[in-house]
Structure 1
Amino acid sequence: RLKAQLQTSNIELQLLDAQNNYSIANINMDLLLGLPETTILKVDEDYINEISENQPVSYYLSQALQNRKDLQALDYQRKAANLGTKAAKAENLPILAITGGYVAADIPGFVTITNAINIGLGVSYNLDNLWKKNSSLLKSQAREKQLEANNELLNDHIKLELNKDFQNSNLAKKKIEVYERALEQATENYRITKNKYDNGLANITDLLEADAALVGAKVNVINSRADAALAYKKLLQTSGILNQ
């Protein structure tokens, strides 16, 4: 009896922890969605069943390169820096200017001009550019190199994170198979122990232990499915598919 009470107490403690974690998660989600903190969110019971077979890791990598907003933002920054470099280079080039004008004058006894149009083409160059460094060009080129390095670093980070999430997702799915086999074994063990107990070949302690093992196996299967669903969603988030 004391052993059964101890097992019951352990299960009650696990239930309290689960309820506490649920309450914290509910508040965090309310804050994330901008809802009042007292809003009760209903859990999607089909969430743990939304697990699909993984595509090859190359598929998720290509999706990440297309969909990741941080990569797209960095690409726009690189294009802007490239335009800045071109503009800075233009400062060292001669300036070509086309001028035009219209003249009409009437000076009595001297000259009369009507409908006179003049057009000219001029070239100017700042001789200071011959010995002065173009600071704008140097800054823009340094900015381009910095963004290029950031792009390589971000790509490496995405590849590492993507492969990690891909492996975690596969591992989580394999764990489901292991826990399901353990559930089959616990079910058979409980059936045999219950049969022995009914025939006076096992005591109540053996039956309680078999029952507790069966309950634990069922919980492990549910937890493994939830972990697998979470790992799969994390993989989709890293590849940018989830945001689409």
Structure 2
Amino acid sequence: MGRYPLNKRLVLLSFTVLLTLVFMLIASSSGAQDMRIDSYRVSLVEAIQFAKTQNKWVQAAKIAESAAVEDRKDAYKAALPAVNTNASYQRFSDLTLFTDRLNHAATGPRKPTPHTAALGIDALFNIYSGGRQQALQSEQEARFRIAEVNTQDQTGNIALQTASQYLELVRLNDLNKLIQDQLGRAQTRLNNINSLFRNQKVTRSDVLRAEVMLSNVELSLQQNENDVIIANQKLNVLMNIPDSVRILPSDSAGIPKPEITSLLPLMEEAGTTSFVVQRAGHYVEAQRAKVKGVQSNTLPSLSFYTAYGLNYPNYLFFPPVDQTYAIGFVGLKAQYSISSLYHSKSKIAASKLRVKELELHQQAAVDNVRIQANSYYIKYKEALNRISVNERSVEQARVNYRIVSTKYFNQLALLTDLLDADNLYQESRFNLIKAQTDALAIYYNLLYTSGRL
């Protein structure tokens, strides 16, 4: 910088500082944009539908289903003729002939020409193979059905997890409102108790206990707000959206609950429509197709085959002729493996036993699903009754708190009674929210168990 005048160096330095500040402001503004939290109001149904299409586990299951579709196509294409083409060319060296073992060698060109070439095409078409091809197609069809059910099962499972996490977020948000309400009561109560203390109507002990109660409520509020953040992140992962997005549930715990009678068809159909039962049935079908495939090894096979090609030179005559010729043929090929009579015996027996095993698995799955569906039905009925009881309890606890509060500030009750009444009122309201969200959670569990989610 020594070659610049002083005023020019000052101008250059000022410009550099200004440019640095501009870059810092741009970086800070972009960082602020990165930290921006977008909030969206989403209903329970919208969250479930979004997760069904965007969740990574669901997308992976759909890819596996697409692969099964290609495997099924490959099984059907295997019935098409197998067609091959071939071409070859050789250039032979001179022929060396020896007499008297390796003595007296004589060299000469290969007759009729040192060049050979061939170009041809052949095809093989299976006419009958004991049902092996049909068995392969049936097995791949069952495998595709299994992949299809797996996709539906994974989608329903993610929908159930999304519903559970959404309801957890609803519960925490409603609980947050209750805690804020309790915090307001605790602050008002502390102010009133301080007024009574200044007028020497209560002891210092009441003030301290009211302050402790206020501190506990503040800690509960902080803990619940952290739980809301964690629950929101879990829901974001299920819906495959950025962590910076904040989901605001548009549904509350008090949304209408399905009638108990609407659950009867779900409970009755669960034994046939459940994902577990459907998958078990397709496994049985796949194993039965395997049995047919193994049994086909003990049967003869018949194929049609043909070939046509150009060859050079002509070795069909003797001596060979230096010319190109074309020839083809058609024919039938029959084959039967005698050793399959004893090689396949144990394989067939093992395959049939596995069919019986899978059939028992299917029956056991039906029993388990029926028990689960019936249990959810009973629990849902209990949850609806619990909601009614808790609604009455909330009203009773609210009236009780108002009465005890009036008595305390009229010096007719102890602070312990007032705090107990406040806790009872808070607990009854929380129990109502929990009963409402539990009822919906049980309903969605039944939907998933019956294969309808």
CA offset digits 1:144-163 (Å, max 9, x no partner): 12321321232232223223
Note the C-alpha offset of 1:40.
0.9
Note the C-alpha offset of 1:195.
5.0
Note if 1:6 corresponds to 2:6: no
Greater CA drift, 90-99 or 22-31? 90-99
Aligned to 1:202: 412
Aligned to 2:257: 51
Aligned to 2:233: 27
Matched to 1:218, the amino acid is R
Q: Distance in 1 between matches of 2:273 and 2:253?
A: 24
Q: Distance in 2 between matches of 1:22 and 1:37?
A: 13
1:42 partner SS: strand
Contact 1:172 1:228 in 2 (8 A): yes
Q: TM-score, normalised by structure 1?
A: 0.72
Aligned-residue Cα RMSD (Å) equals 3.3
Matched to 2:282, the amino acid is Y
Q: Distance in 2 between matches of 1:154 and 1:182?
A: 41
Aligned to 2:433: 222
**Which structure's CA Rg is the greater one?**
2
The verdict on how the C-alpha distance between 1:223 and 1:47 changes in structure 2, with shifts beyond 3 A counting, is closer
Alignment of 1:114-153 (within 5 A): 126-153=337-364
Greater CA drift, 173-182 or 188-197? 188-197
Structure 1 residue runs of 5 or longer lacking an equivalent are 100-120
Aligned to 2:383: 172
- Alignment counterpart, residue 449 of structure 2, candidates 220, 238, 241: 238
Contact 2:298 2:344 in 1 (8 A): no
Contact 1:61 1:239 in 2 (8 A): yes
The verdict on how the C-alpha distance between 1:223 and 1:17 changes in structure 2, with shifts beyond 3 A counting, is farther
Note the C-alpha offset of 1:210.
3.6
CA offset digits 1:106-149 (Å, max 9, x no partner): xxxxxxxxxxxxxxx99975444555542442342133123213
Aligned to 1:159: 370
Q: Distance in 2 between matches of 1:51 and 1:58?
A: 15
1:41 partner SS: strand
CA offset digits 1:189-240 (Å, max 9, x no partner): 2343355467x36358355554443333223222221222222222222222
Note the C-alpha offset of 1:70.
3.1
Q: Distance in 2 between matches of 1:211 and 1:129?
A: 83
Q: TM-score, normalised by structure 2?
A: 0.42
Note if 1:181 corresponds to 2:392: yes
Aligned to 1:60: 266
Matched to 1:77, the amino acid is Y
Contact 1:169 1:235 in 2 (8 A): no
Q: Distance in 2 between matches of 1:44 and 1:168?
A: 26
Of the two structures, which has the highest relative contact order with CA contacts closer than 8 Å and spacing of 6 or more? 1
Q: Distance in 1 between matches of 2:344 and 2:419?
A: 86
The aligned length equals 221
Matched to 2:219, the amino acid is L
Q: Distance in 1 between matches of 2:442 and 2:387?
A: 12
1:177 partner SS: helix
Contact 2:404 2:413 in 1 (8 A): no
Note the C-alpha offset of 1:54.
2.1
CA offset digits 1:154-173 (Å, max 9, x no partner): 22322232233223322222
2:246 partner SS: coil
Contact 2:295 2:344 in 1 (8 A): no
Contact 1:63 1:241 in 2 (8 A): no
Give the share of equivalent positions with the same residue, in percent.
28
The verdict on how the C-alpha distance between 1:171 and 1:10 changes in structure 2, with shifts beyond 3 A counting, is farther
Structure 2 residue runs of 5 or longer lacking an equivalent are 1-206, 306-331
Matched to 2:395, the amino acid is E
Q: Distance in 2 between matches of 1:177 and 1:47?
A: 14
Matched to 1:176, the amino acid is I
Note the C-alpha offset of 1:7.
2.6
